[in-house]
Structure 1
């Protein structure tokens, strides 16, 4: 066959239509987490987040206690009391815990009909954050138990508890459950119920996995130091959720938390 025949036998080139970029299903929630971080930083810089609970008046002739354990969860917003403290806790949960829920949110969005996708994702996020807010309310009620104890001792104990929890079989099971998805009905009331159940299941697994880490936040106090603990604990939570080997990440976090507990415990003796 000559060159002309070969040219005629060559199949025509196929021109592929450009692929439409897939929408970022979780963009709104990513922005919400960033906005929560900006708000917490702004409240801290402006002094709206205080590092200690209001103290009872000291008896006459007795110096006030300056080393009681802080609790920004209880009095994060001056004058706002319990409501303000719980609002601040919810804001921190959006900043710290919402990034770890992004894969689950993407699963909800990808398995929902387009017309109800945003509603389903919002319902899942509401259930998930409501569970963490309820945990904050529990810590708020328990705060008087440690509010007048030495701050360094309380924080060191919370860090040691978190380090120990990281090494338990219960932590491993909870972390495994955090990585599980759930089949979701496409539409109707069954879809609404399925999204709610998935939010409860995923939120419960996340709460079982990270309750000790968030307990550290409840006793760490306010001020610039709070931002450091927030960043460190958010890094631990997010790494465990996105790592290919979550168990290894949990073990590394346990070592880091144990070292932090030792450093905090030794700080009073070195100063």
Structure 2
């Protein structure tokens, strides 16, 4: 190899090392998602606050204490705990799929306001999911008195069907659309917030049925089973968002959800 070739090879290796060592602009948000998973696992393993139930747990059963147990918290206190748990789940499950968009916001913002733009986007994006969680908590009593396995099987079937609709494909396509990001001042803040709202809305249209499954599964069983559902659904959401051709993973997810619906229905029928 000539000296020039050796220098070019060395320069290429140096650039690869620099790229590996370069701090990712979204690293802080990735660490937040990891921390959320750690906290959720610790809460579930410790049996609270929703190791026995979850985000869709009904609160209209009165205030009497169980045999040998303390009186449960009132509806307002329990509801706030449920919403806090849902918020933690939203950060853990939805933030990883939004990392490429966060990187886009960071790299297309001025260096001095990069973190502020990313934080604005993330706050608005997560606010969309927290609002959806509040809606689910409000309507949870509609399914809370029904057999949990039947509700879960029906919700899984609904999610599988939604995966195959044209509305799902359009929403997933909208998740990959960009938005203007003004460079500075209040227009920059508004631009990041508007992008977060637009992306959060598209993500909600794409994944509302999956997160409905999460709410029902959490309320039906909680505990370690909840973590299993979280891992499965997070994998589906992240794979769909990151895939260059999402149609195949979307159809595969529909098949997995349909199989899960059948399994839950059969298990309930054989019990």
Q: TM-score normalised to the size of structure 1?
A: 0.84
Q: Does 1:56 align with 2:67?
A: no
Deviations 1:96-126 (A, max 9, x none): 0000110110010000001000000000000
Q: Does 1:207 align with 2:212?
A: no
For residue 80 of structure 1, report the CA deviation from its aligned partner.
3.6
The count of corresponding residues between Structure 1 and Structure 2 is 243
Deviations 1:118-151 (A, max 9, x none): 0000000000000000000000000000001000
Distance 1:185 1:47, change over 3 A: same
Extract unaligned runs of 5+ from structure 1. Answer: 1-9, 58-74
- Partners of 1:248 and 1:239 in 2: how far apart? 10
> Alignment partner of 2:83: what SS?
helix
- Partners of 1:254 and 1:187 in 2: how far apart? 43
1:197-236 pair list within 5 angstroms: 197-221=194-218, 222-236=222-236
> Alignment partner of 1:184: what SS?
coil
Residue in structure 2 matched with residue 196 of structure 1 by the alignment: 193
Q: CA RMSD in A?
A: 2.4
- Partners of 1:106 and 1:243 in 2: how far apart? 16
Deviations 1:201-255 (A, max 9, x none): 1000000000000000111021111000000000000000111211111111011
**Which of 171, 176, 182 in structure 1 is aligned with 2:173?**
176
Residue in structure 2 matched with residue 62 of structure 1 by the alignment: none
Deviations 1:142-196 (A, max 9, x none): 0000001000000001101100100000000000011122231111222111111
Q: TM-score normalised to the size of structure 2?
A: 0.84
- Partners of 1:129 and 1:266 in 2: how far apart? 36
Residue in structure 2 matched with residue 163 of structure 1 by the alignment: 160
Residue in structure 2 matched with residue 110 of structure 1 by the alignment: 107
- Equivalent pair of 2:150/2:268 in contact (CA under 8 Å): no
